[in-house]
Amino acid sequence: MPRNAQADLSELLAGKGVRVTPRRLEVLAELARERDDVTAQELWRRLRERDSQTGLATVYRTLALLADAGVVDTMSHHGTELCYRLCTESHHHHLVCSSCHRVVEVEQCGLGKWLETVTRQHGFVAIDHRVEITGLCAACR
Amino acid sequence: MPRNAQADLSELLAGKGVRVTPRRLEVLAELARERDDVTAQELWRRLRERDSQTGLATVYRTLALLADAGVVDTMSHHGTELCYRLCTESHHHHLVCSSCHRVVEVEQCGLGKWLETVTRQHGFVAIDHRVEITGLCAACR
DNA sequence: TTTAGTGCAAAAGTTTTGCATGGTC
DNA sequence: GACCATGCAAAACTTTTGCACTAAA
């Protein structure tokens, strides 16, 4: 990994008030390498393949921390495992290929007015929302 | 439970080509009683409280079957457990109260055109999509 | 020096499976 | 009667915790 990418990751943590450690950088670097989402178990397996000594518990603890800090997004494809993914900071949604599990981030949000309307209609105040579109990507079609 | 509701549930199963059994009707009836979503474990506990002899494995098997048949929706509130809920047949989305977990179904879908646009933009063919809006309901505000 | 992170192993919890038995069509 | 559903107990997994030890600020 390029030396400045390393530094970026450190800043990413420090900026969130999170203590910087070698383990956390390893986890973060692995997340940065993944194009798509991964489970904690998968991430751990890949770290081991790179001869990292990181323990599974640390992976779980780190991912929970990062999710808390808003550095990673969590998704669950309606299986029993939680998936993690390093995400852009801005509001966005996901396009997921049901065949190859590729994830594409969509920056635009098409909900705008509708969101306003339906939440008010039911007496809710919206805090957050997520849209997950499942489909087939170009390669899998 | 009213006698005709019983019959309705039987028809619901039979209509999907699913074999009708007392156990499945019990699970279905319990789901019908729940306003909000439940985990398999919760559902099982409630059945026991009603002196049902249904085994936990049967609850899991039945819920999987019903989800497959499209009779229940599954959601995961980003915890480790999967939640189930008896849903209307038509396309709809969910409004979830983050404080009391109340779920409201929203029949309208505000995605229409936007969905078309973004999927095509990324070379996807959309198969399905789900919108989950988190917020505070009137009572919890 | 104080406070927090980590590895390991054990525990806790959820979901799945094998198998003998009983019920549905 | 054939085939599927069920209960029970065991197994398989994922995730969390306790604790002794190490490292960051």
What 3-state DSSP class applies to A121? helix
Nucleotides of D under 7 A from a protein CB: 4-10, 13-18, 23-25
Q: Is A82's CB within 8 Å of B82's CB? A: no
Residue at A141 is within a domain: no
Q: Residue B27: which of B1, B53, B63 has the closest Cα?
A: B63
* Same-domain check for residues A46 and A108: no
Residue at A52 is within a domain: yes
Residue at B141 is within a domain: no
Digit-coded pLDDT (tens) for B87-101 = 776 778 888 887 777
Digit-coded pLDDT (tens) for B5-16 = 677 889 888 888
Mutate to test the interface with A, among B84, B104, B107, B133 (most CBs of A within 10 A): B133
- Range with lowest mean pLDDT among A9-13, A58-62, A75-79, B103-107: A75-79
Write down the mean pLDDT value for chain B.
Answer: 86
pLDDT band of residue B4 (cuts 50, 70, 90) is low
User: Based on the structure, what is the number of domains in chain B?
Assistant: 2
- Pairing type for strands B103-106 and B83-86 reads unpaired
Choosing from A69, A85, A101, the residue where a domain stops is A85
Digit-coded pLDDT (tens) for A114-129 = 888 899 999 998 888 8
In chain B, % of residues over pLDDT 70: 91
- pLDDT at residue B110 is higher than 80: no
pLDDT band of residue A89 (cuts 50, 70, 90) is low
Write down the mean pLDDT value for chain A.
Answer: 86
Residue A14 domain boundaries = 3-85
Q: What is the pLDDT of residue B15?
A: 87
What 3-state DSSP class applies to A130? strand
Residue at A140 is within a domain: no
Residue at A74 is within a domain: yes
Q: What is the pLDDT of residue A46?
A: 95
Residue at B140 is within a domain: no
Mean pLDDT on B50-76? 92
* Same-domain check for residues B67 and B13: yes
* Same-domain check for residues A98 and A81: no
Q: Residue A44 has which token pair?
A: 């751990």
pLDDT band of residue B46 (cuts 50, 70, 90) is very high
Q: What is the pLDDT of residue B97?
A: 83
pLDDT band of residue B105 (cuts 50, 70, 90) is confident
Digit-coded pLDDT (tens) for A7-18 = 788 988 988 889
* Same-domain check for residues A77 and A120: no
Q: Residue B131: which of A14, A93, A67, A132 has the closest Cα?
A: A132
* Same-domain check for residues A11 and A76: yes
pLDDT band of residue B49 (cuts 50, 70, 90) is very high
Q: Residue B26 has which token pair?
A: 């019990």
Q: Residue B96: which of B71, B111, B78, B115 has the closest Cα?
A: B78
- pLDDT at residue B47 is higher than 90: yes
* Same-domain check for residues A79 and A120: no
pLDDT band of residue B1 (cuts 50, 70, 90) is low
* Same-domain check for residues A21 and A42: yes
Residue A120 sits in a domain whose CATH number is 3.30.1490.190
C3 C1' – A86 CA distance, angstroms? 28
* Same-domain check for residues B62 and B121: no
- Pairing type for strands B103-106 and B38-39 reads unpaired
Tell me the whole-structure pTM to 2 decimals: 0.78
Mean pLDDT on A72-98? 81
Q: Is B113's CB within 8 Å of A110's CB? A: yes
* Same-domain check for residues B75 and B97: no
* Same-domain check for residues B57 and B120: no
Q: Residue A86: which of A62, A56, A116, A58 has the closest Cα?
A: A62
Q: What is the pLDDT of residue B118?
A: 92
* Same-domain check for residues A55 and A113: no
* Same-domain check for residues A70 and A113: no
* B22 vs A136, more confident: B22
C15 C1' – A73 CA distance, angstroms? 25
pLDDT band of residue A2 (cuts 50, 70, 90) is low
Q: What is the pLDDT of residue A37?
A: 87
